[in-house]
Protein backbone atom coordinates (compact mmCIF):
# COMPACT_ATOMS: atom_id res chain seq x y z
CA UNK A 1 0.00 0.00 0.00
CA UNK A 2 1.61 3.38 -0.42
CA UNK A 3 1.87 4.79 -3.88
CA UNK A 4 -1.38 6.24 -2.69
CA UNK A 5 -2.26 9.17 -4.94
CA UNK A 6 -1.50 11.63 -2.18
CA UNK A 7 -4.92 12.78 -1.04
CA UNK A 8 -4.57 16.34 0.14
CA UNK A 9 -6.86 17.72 2.77
CA UNK A 10 -9.44 15.99 4.91
CA UNK A 11 -12.15 16.90 2.45
CA UNK A 12 -10.36 14.87 -0.22
CA UNK A 13 -10.25 11.93 2.13
CA UNK A 14 -13.91 12.35 2.89
CA UNK A 15 -14.62 12.33 -0.83
CA UNK A 16 -12.59 9.18 -1.35
CA UNK A 17 -14.35 7.41 1.49
CA UNK A 18 -17.69 8.45 0.07
CA UNK A 19 -16.64 7.15 -3.32
CA UNK A 20 -15.78 3.75 -1.91
CA UNK A 21 -19.12 3.61 -0.14
CA UNK A 22 -21.08 4.54 -3.23
CA UNK A 23 -19.04 2.16 -5.34
CA UNK A 24 -20.01 -0.59 -2.90
CA UNK A 25 -16.35 -1.27 -2.14
CA UNK A 26 -17.46 -0.78 1.42
CA UNK A 27 -21.05 -2.02 1.45
CA UNK A 28 -23.58 -0.91 4.07
CA UNK A 29 -22.99 -2.53 7.42
CA UNK A 30 -19.37 -3.30 6.78
CA UNK A 31 -16.66 -2.24 9.16
CA UNK A 32 -14.11 -0.13 7.37
CA UNK A 33 -10.38 -0.09 8.14
CA UNK A 34 -9.26 1.69 11.28
CA UNK A 35 -7.97 5.21 11.33
CA UNK A 36 -4.34 4.23 11.56
CA UNK A 37 -4.62 1.96 8.55
CA UNK A 38 -6.36 4.62 6.50
CA UNK A 39 -3.90 7.25 7.59
CA UNK A 40 -1.07 5.08 6.39
CA UNK A 41 -2.79 4.30 3.11
CA UNK A 42 -3.56 7.92 2.41
CA UNK A 43 -0.19 9.06 3.64
CA UNK A 44 -1.45 11.53 6.19
CA UNK A 45 -1.80 11.93 9.92
CA UNK A 46 -4.44 10.04 11.82
CA UNK A 47 -6.04 13.30 12.93
CA UNK A 48 -6.76 14.11 9.32
CA UNK A 49 -8.53 10.82 8.75
CA UNK A 50 -10.37 11.36 12.01
CA UNK A 51 -11.65 14.73 10.83
CA UNK A 52 -12.98 13.22 7.64
CA UNK A 53 -14.65 10.25 9.28
CA UNK A 54 -16.11 12.36 12.04
CA UNK A 55 -17.74 14.65 9.53
CA UNK A 56 -19.22 11.67 7.72
CA UNK A 57 -20.48 10.24 10.98
CA UNK A 58 -22.17 13.53 11.76
CA UNK A 59 -23.78 13.41 8.34
CA UNK A 60 -25.16 9.98 9.14
CA UNK A 61 -23.15 8.09 6.54
CA UNK A 62 -20.95 6.30 9.05
CA UNK A 63 -21.52 4.90 12.49
CA UNK A 64 -18.62 5.00 14.86
CA UNK A 65 -18.16 3.36 18.21
CA UNK A 66 -15.07 3.14 20.28
CA UNK A 67 -13.27 -0.07 20.06
CA UNK A 68 -15.92 -1.48 17.76
CA UNK A 69 -14.66 0.59 14.85
CA UNK A 70 -16.35 2.46 12.05
CA UNK A 71 -19.15 0.94 10.00
CA UNK A 72 -21.01 2.12 6.95
CA UNK A 73 -24.49 3.02 8.12
CA UNK A 74 -27.10 0.44 7.21
CA UNK A 75 -29.85 3.00 6.79
CA UNK A 76 -28.31 6.11 5.35
CA UNK A 77 -30.60 8.13 7.56
CA UNK A 78 -31.18 11.08 5.34
CA UNK A 79 -30.70 14.15 7.40
CA UNK A 80 -32.06 17.11 5.57
CA UNK A 81 -31.11 20.48 6.92
CA UNK A 82 -33.92 22.95 6.52
CA UNK A 83 -32.86 26.53 6.92
CA UNK A 84 -35.57 28.60 8.51
CA UNK A 85 -35.09 32.08 7.17
CA UNK A 86 -36.45 35.34 8.42
CA UNK A 87 -39.76 35.98 6.73
CA UNK A 88 -38.61 39.33 5.34
CA UNK A 89 -35.49 37.70 4.01
CA UNK A 90 -37.37 34.86 2.41
CA UNK A 91 -39.70 37.25 0.63
CA UNK A 92 -36.94 39.54 -0.57
CA UNK A 93 -34.92 36.62 -1.85
CA UNK A 94 -37.83 35.85 -4.13
CA UNK A 95 -37.40 39.28 -5.63
CA UNK A 96 -40.58 40.60 -4.08
CA UNK A 97 -41.15 43.68 -1.98
CA UNK A 98 -41.71 42.96 1.69
CA UNK A 99 -44.79 44.28 3.38
CA UNK A 100 -46.13 43.95 6.92
CA UNK A 101 -49.40 44.68 8.66
CA UNK A 102 -50.36 44.18 12.28
CA UNK A 103 -53.79 42.65 12.65
CA UNK A 104 -54.26 42.26 16.36
CA UNK A 105 -52.39 42.76 19.58
CA UNK A 106 -53.79 41.86 22.97
CA UNK A 107 -52.81 40.43 26.32
CA UNK A 108 -54.00 37.12 27.58
CA UNK A 109 -52.64 33.73 28.41
CA UNK A 110 -51.49 30.73 26.48
CA UNK A 111 -51.45 27.07 27.34
CA UNK A 112 -47.76 26.60 26.59
CA UNK A 113 -46.54 29.74 28.34
CA UNK A 114 -46.45 30.44 32.05
CA UNK A 115 -47.83 33.74 33.24
CA UNK A 116 -49.31 36.48 31.09
CA UNK A 117 -48.77 36.39 27.38
CA UNK A 118 -48.95 38.86 24.56
CA UNK A 119 -50.86 37.71 21.53
CA UNK A 120 -49.84 39.25 18.23
CA UNK A 121 -51.37 38.45 14.87
CA UNK A 122 -49.85 39.90 11.74
CA UNK A 123 -49.70 39.43 8.02
CA UNK A 124 -46.57 39.44 5.88
CA UNK A 125 -46.88 40.44 2.24
CA UNK A 126 -44.87 39.71 -0.87
CA UNK A 127 -45.55 42.46 -3.40
CA UNK A 128 -48.84 43.39 -1.76
CA UNK A 129 -50.19 39.85 -1.84
CA UNK A 130 -50.47 37.98 1.44
CA UNK A 131 -47.67 35.52 1.97
CA UNK A 132 -47.86 34.23 5.50
CA UNK A 133 -50.04 34.77 8.54
CA UNK A 134 -48.18 34.96 11.82
CA UNK A 135 -50.05 34.13 15.02
CA UNK A 136 -47.71 34.52 17.93
CA UNK A 137 -47.77 34.33 21.71
CA UNK A 138 -44.98 35.95 23.68
CA UNK A 139 -44.35 35.25 27.34
CA UNK A 140 -44.52 38.57 29.18
CA UNK A 141 -42.90 37.16 32.26
CA UNK A 142 -39.82 36.18 30.29
CA UNK A 143 -39.80 39.10 27.86
CA UNK A 144 -41.55 41.92 29.75
CA UNK A 145 -40.22 44.61 27.41
CA UNK A 146 -42.55 43.26 24.74
CA UNK A 147 -45.30 45.20 26.50
CA UNK A 148 -43.74 48.46 25.36
CA UNK A 149 -43.61 47.48 21.73
CA UNK A 150 -46.60 48.17 19.51
CA UNK A 151 -45.46 45.80 16.73
CA UNK A 152 -46.95 48.29 14.37
CA UNK A 153 -43.80 48.94 12.40
CA UNK A 154 -41.71 45.90 13.13
CA UNK A 155 -42.89 42.32 13.13
CA UNK A 156 -42.65 40.24 16.26
CA UNK A 157 -40.56 37.90 14.16
CA UNK A 158 -37.79 40.46 13.81
CA UNK A 159 -38.28 42.20 17.10
CA UNK A 160 -37.68 39.00 19.01
CA UNK A 161 -34.51 38.32 17.10
CA UNK A 162 -33.14 41.61 18.30
CA UNK A 163 -34.49 41.48 21.82
CA UNK A 164 -34.40 37.88 22.85
CA UNK A 165 -32.22 34.90 22.31
CA UNK A 166 -33.09 31.29 22.56
CA UNK A 167 -31.18 28.18 23.39
CA UNK A 168 -33.46 25.59 21.90
CA UNK A 169 -36.53 25.27 19.80
CA UNK A 170 -39.03 22.84 18.44
CA UNK A 171 -40.62 22.97 15.00
CA UNK A 172 -43.35 20.98 13.38
CA UNK A 173 -44.59 21.15 9.82
CA UNK A 174 -48.06 20.08 8.86
CA UNK A 175 -50.87 20.59 6.41
CA UNK A 176 -54.02 22.20 7.74
CA UNK A 177 -57.32 23.19 6.23
CA UNK A 178 -57.70 26.95 6.12
CA UNK A 179 -60.14 28.24 8.72
CA UNK A 180 -62.47 30.98 7.65
CA UNK A 181 -60.25 33.59 9.27
CA UNK A 182 -57.01 32.26 7.86
CA UNK A 183 -58.56 31.88 4.43
CA UNK A 184 -59.78 35.45 4.47
CA UNK A 185 -56.41 36.89 5.41
CA UNK A 186 -54.48 34.81 2.91
CA UNK A 187 -56.97 35.34 0.14
CA UNK A 188 -57.71 31.64 -0.12
CA UNK A 189 -60.82 29.50 -0.02
CA UNK A 190 -61.98 28.18 3.30
CA UNK A 191 -60.70 24.65 3.67
CA UNK A 192 -57.80 25.16 1.27
CA UNK A 193 -54.68 23.16 2.13
CA UNK A 194 -52.35 25.39 4.09
CA UNK A 195 -48.72 24.65 4.87
CA UNK A 196 -48.31 25.34 8.56
CA UNK A 197 -45.19 25.71 10.64
CA UNK A 198 -45.52 25.67 14.43
CA UNK A 199 -42.54 26.82 16.37
CA UNK A 200 -41.82 26.94 20.07
CA UNK A 201 -38.65 28.43 21.50
CA UNK A 202 -37.06 28.33 24.90
CA UNK A 203 -34.27 30.14 26.65
CA UNK A 204 -33.03 27.47 28.98
CA UNK A 205 -36.12 26.29 30.81
CA UNK A 206 -38.21 29.36 30.13
CA UNK A 207 -40.60 29.23 27.20
CA UNK A 208 -40.26 32.44 25.25
CA UNK A 209 -42.71 32.26 22.42
CA UNK A 210 -45.04 30.03 20.48
CA UNK A 211 -45.86 30.89 16.91
CA UNK A 212 -47.91 29.46 14.09
CA UNK A 213 -47.08 30.48 10.56
CA UNK A 214 -49.78 29.74 7.98
CA UNK A 215 -48.43 30.05 4.48
CA UNK A 216 -50.28 30.98 1.35
CA UNK A 217 -51.47 27.99 -0.69
CA UNK A 218 -48.80 26.68 -3.03
CA UNK A 219 -46.00 27.39 -0.60
CA UNK A 220 -43.34 24.75 -0.38
CA UNK A 221 -40.22 24.37 1.63
CA UNK A 222 -37.22 22.94 -0.12
CA UNK A 223 -34.05 21.31 1.06
CA UNK A 224 -31.12 19.38 -0.24
CA UNK A 225 -29.50 16.24 1.08
CA UNK A 226 -26.05 14.89 0.46
CA UNK A 227 -25.25 17.96 -1.55
CA UNK A 228 -21.49 17.63 -1.68
How many angstroms separate the CA atoms of 85 and 5, rounded? Answer: 42
Q: Which stretch binds a second copy (CB under 8 A): 6-14, 20-28, 118-126, 140-148?
A: 20-28
Which residues are bridge partners to 213 per DSSP?
134, 197
Show Cβ contacts of residue 213 under 8 Å, excluding neighbours closer than 6 positions: 87, 132, 133, 134, 135, 196, 197, 198, 199
Which residues between 182 and 211 bind a second copy (CB under 8 A)?
191-196, 203
Identify the three-state secondary structure at position 182: helix
**What is the β-pairing status of strands 31-32 and 69-72?**
antiparallel
**DSSP assignments along 10-32, one per residue:** HHHHHHHHHHHHHTTSS-TTPEE
Q: Does 17 bind DNA (CB under 7 A)?
A: no
Size of the site for DNA (CB under 7 A): 25
Kindly state the smallest distance separating residue 52's Cβ from DNA, in Å.
8
Considering CB distances under 5 to 8 angstroms, the limit depending on partner class, which of DNA, a second copy, none binds residue 83? a second copy
Compute CA 52 distance to the chain's CA centroid, rounded to the nearest angstrom: 24
Kindly state the smallest distance separating residue 179's Cβ from DNA, in Å.
47
Kindly state the smallest distance separating residue 120's Cβ from a second copy, in Å.
19
Q: Does 54 bind DNA (CB under 7 A)?
A: yes
The CA R_g of the chain, rounded to the nearest whole Å, is: 24
Q: Which stretch binds a second copy (CB under 8 A): 6-14, 33-41, 85-93, 110-118?
A: 85-93
Find the binder of DNA among 44, 56, 87, 143 (CB under 7 A).
Answer: 44
List residues binding a second copy (CB under 8 A).
Answer: 18, 21-22, 24, 28, 60, 75-86, 89, 161-162, 165-177, 191-196, 203, 217-228
Amino acid sequence: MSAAPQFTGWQAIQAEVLRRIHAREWPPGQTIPGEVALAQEFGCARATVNRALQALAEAGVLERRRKAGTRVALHPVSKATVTIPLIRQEIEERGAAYGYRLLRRQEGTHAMLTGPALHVTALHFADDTPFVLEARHISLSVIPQARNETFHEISANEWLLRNASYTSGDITFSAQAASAEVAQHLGAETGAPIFVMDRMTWDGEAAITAVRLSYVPGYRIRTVIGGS
